[in-house]
Amino acid sequence: MQYQKVEISGVNTSKLKVLTEDEKTELLKKVREGDKKAREELIEGNLRLVLSVIQKFMNRGAQPDDLFQVGVVGLIKAIDNFDLSLDVKFSTYAVPMISGELRRYLRDNNSIRVSRSTRDLAYKAMQVREKLQAGSEKEPTAAEIAKVLGVPKSEVVFALESVSEPVSIYEPVYSNSGDVLYMLDQLGDRSSDEGWIDELMLREAIQMLNDREKNILYLRYYRGKTQVEVAKEIGISQAQVSRLEKSALNRIKAKV
């Protein structure tokens, strides 16, 4: 964890219970029957999940205790709304619910002012994203969210970026073997609105790639390595590197 507190919001994190998937399912069934004790046990048994989710929201101006309490609200909403008929683990459903609650909290306490219409669109987009992700293990794309809302993809990307928390230009975005890539390294001298939107859409497209594809593109285009060198470093054949690189680039081009 990024902080050393054993206790957060009055909860001793060193003694938190971890439930198995079977135990969660049984407790969820009891919760649906109105068992309040089972509900409390289910909440307590998922507090470690809340702790793991709030890590990526640290260092954004909010206190850990506040983030934890907001995360628990998201957990409770997940418990109350989870559909047992879904072929998905509870944690898979709960994580985006907790994250969404934390994003809303940070957005509402953001000092940067955003227009009401943009904020409303961003809120609707986050709701759609949570619903789409609840039935799938992958993050929905901006295009998929835009299709549900019936608005242009660029408006969804702009709205979500507008309510995101500010990021330092010295924020590390990639680290490999001691070489750190900072946000500053990715900033270009592009002044037009169209160029800025294109850049946001490119970043969103890259986020769709899996870790191996991102690593290959990083090694090839940021480190300047040949496909043979990349293949040797990550332990696959040059032909596989070529195929994965081509596939990743094609997917990016199709989304931008």
- The pLDDT of 200-215, averaged and rounded, is 75
Query: Is residue 158, in this structure, part of any structural domain at all?
Result: no
Q: How far apart are CA 86 and CA 191, in angstroms?
A: 46
Gap between the Cα atoms of 68 and 139, Å rounded: 23
Q: What percent of the chain has pLDDT over 90?
A: 5
Mean pLDDT, rounded, for 227-234: 84
Q: Rounded to whole angstroms, how far apart are CA atoms 207 and 31?
A: 36
Contact between 241 and 232 under an 8 Å Cβ cutoff? The reply is no
User: What's the rounded Cα separation, in Å, for the pair 102 and 67?
Assistant: 7
Out of 86, 114, 136, a domain closes at 86
Strand runs (DSSP E) across the chain, as ranges?
A: 7-8, 11-12, 172-176, 179-182
For the residues 231-239, what does the mean pLDDT come to? 86
Mean pLDDT score across all residues of the chain: 76
Instruction: Determine the average pLDDT of the residues in 131-155.
Output: 82
Where does the pLDDT of residue 154 fall: very low under 50, low under 70, confident under 90, or very high at 90 and above? confident
3-class SS at 173?
Answer: strand
Does the pLDDT of residue 55 top 70, yes or no?
Answer: yes
Within a domain: 222? yes
Longest dimension (CA), the chain: 61
**Whole-number pLDDT of residue 3:** 40
CATH number where 239 lies: 1.10.10.10
Which pLDDT belongs to residue 194?
Answer: 47
Q: Which two tokens stand for residue 142?
A: 């901006």
As a whole number, mean pLDDT of residues 171-182 equals 52
Q: Would the pLDDT of 67 be above 80? A: yes
Rounded to an integer, the average pLDDT of 59-71 is: 81
| Cα–Cα distance, 197 to 169 (Å, whole number) | 18
Q: Is the pLDDT of residue 62 over 60?
A: yes
Range in 7-16, 204-213, 234-243 the model is least confident about: 7-16
Final residue in a domain of this structure, among 86, 117, 148:
86
| 216 part of a folded domain | yes
The string of pLDDT tens digits covering residues 182-194 is: 554 555 544 444 4
Which one is predicted more confidently, 162 or 117? Answer: 117
Domain tally for the chain?
2
Say if residue 133 is exposed, middle or buried (CB neighbours under 10 Å; 0-12, 13-18, 19+). buried
Quote the domain boundaries for residue 53: 1-86
Is 92 part of any domain? no
- Higher pLDDT: 15 or 81? It is 81
The last residue of a domain, from among 37, 54, 86: 86
Is 194 inside any structural domain? yes
Which band of pLDDT confidence, cut at 50, 70 and 90, is reported for residue 20? confident
Alpha carbon distance 9, 3 (integer Å): 13
Which tokens in the block code for residue 65?
């205790």
Question: Count of CB atoms within 10 A of residue 69's CB?
Answer: 17
Among the residue ranges 139-148, 174-183, 198-207, 210-219, the one predicted with the least confidence is 174-183
Q: Is 74 within the bounds of a domain?
A: yes
**Mean pLDDT, range 225-238, rounded to an integer:** 84
Whether residue 47 is contained in a domain is answered as yes
Identify whether 104 is part of a domain. no
